[in-house]
């Protein structure tokens, strides 16, 4: 964010506690001191108000980055995000762009209860005109966020608070990762795991165990971008392994995995040697008890169990 704010005078950061408090999760630490209160703007606790302001400013040429303290609060600004921002280019015949980025944490597992633990990527991606990004690694997070900020469409950038403490390679300087391009995080020949976000890490850990203890070679495809969706990379992997497990931190009904499973069977049915299997969050509001919430969400043990079922 600092690089993009420095590069383009139209890039600003707005949100609850992004300035004086350095961000609820310290993502914006030091930015207020560096860029001042006209570029780093603390907002009232009114998502409908400040998201609406961001949408309007983007239509006038600004490139605002809007931080939601939790993506669970997107519903307060549903009209601004998914009625106005998503449709303004279409409604204006291509004359008005809306280059806004809305970012913040979207995940369970932090013991904050059902009203603060939503993963709304399926709801967001259901609307034409927007882009939805869910990074899994530090390397991808930087390259994808820079591309999102420079994009002329609304980009919804869903982060996972459980990943904020993860360490990994982040190159210095300028690099971009195109939106809509999946990444094969691990090569394999027996089973394809299609996943994104924190579930990429669970899947990679599970793949190591499956290789070592069961001699199963697992390919892990990280979608990175939900919309646009790189289905070609998924299908190429399916053609190689002929078995598919889709892992997501979504409730199973009307989820991202539902869409991907349909697309695979529609485009590559003859490549499948077994039914497609999905592993999702257990279909209930986020459970407050930490030990039970861990089992409600995907985890390496659940991924291994599901993978063995596909292989059987």
Catalytic residue positions? 116
Separation CA 197–CA 135 (nearest Å): 5
Write out the two tokens for 6: 């420095």
Write out the two tokens for 89: 């280019």
Side-by-side strand order, sheet with 191-195:
183-186, 218-222, 191-195, 244-247, 277-279
Comparing CA positions, the residue from 247, 187, 190 lying closest to residue 215 is 190
For residue 291, give every residue at least 6 positions away whose Cβ sits within 8 Å of its Cβ, in sequence order, or none.
Answer: none
Please state, in angstroms and as integers, the Cα–Cα distance from residue 137 to each residue in 63, 68, 170, 251, following that order. Answer: 24, 20, 9, 23
**Residue 47 DSSP one-character state:** H
Contact present, 116 and 170 (Cβ < 8 Å): no
């Amino acid at each position: 964010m600092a690089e993009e704010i420095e590069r383009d005078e139209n890039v600003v950061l707005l949100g609850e506690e992004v300035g004086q408090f350095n961000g609820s999760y310290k993502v914006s630490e030091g930015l207020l001191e560096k860029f001042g209160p006209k570029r780093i703007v603390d907002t009232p606790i009114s998502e409908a108000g400040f998201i609406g302001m961001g949408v309007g400013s983007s239509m006038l040429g600004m490139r605002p980055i809007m931080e939601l303290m939790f993506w669970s609060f997107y519903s307060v600004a549903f009209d601004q995000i998914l009625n106005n921002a998503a449709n303004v280019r279409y409604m204006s015949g291509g004359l008005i762009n809306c280059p806004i980025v809305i970012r913040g944490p979207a995940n369970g597992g932090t013991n904050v209860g059902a009203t603060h633990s939503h993963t709304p990527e399926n709801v967001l991606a259901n609307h034409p005109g927007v882009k939805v990004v869910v990074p899994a690694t530090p390397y991808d997070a930087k390259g994808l966020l820079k591309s999102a900020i420079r994009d002329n469409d609304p980009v919804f950038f869903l982060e996972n608070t459980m990943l904020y403490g993860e360490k990994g390679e982040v190159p210095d300087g300028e690099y971009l990762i195109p939106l809509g391009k999946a990444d094969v995080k691990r090569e394999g020949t027996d089973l394809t795991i299609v996943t994104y976000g924190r579930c990429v890490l669970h899947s990679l850990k599970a793949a190591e165990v499956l290789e070592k203890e069961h001699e199963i070679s697992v390919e892990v495809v990280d979608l990175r971008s939900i919309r646009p969706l790189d289905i070609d990379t998924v299908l190429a992997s399916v053609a190689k392994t002929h078995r598919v497990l889709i892992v997501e931190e979504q409730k199973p009904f009307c989820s991202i995995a539902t869409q991907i499973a349909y697309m695979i069977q529609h485009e590559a049915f003859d490549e499948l040697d077994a039914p497609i299997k999905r592993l999702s969050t257990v279909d209930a509001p986020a459970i407050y008890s930490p030990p039970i919430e861990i089992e409600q969400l995907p985890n390496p043990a659940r991924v291994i169990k599901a993978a063995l079922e596909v292989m059987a």
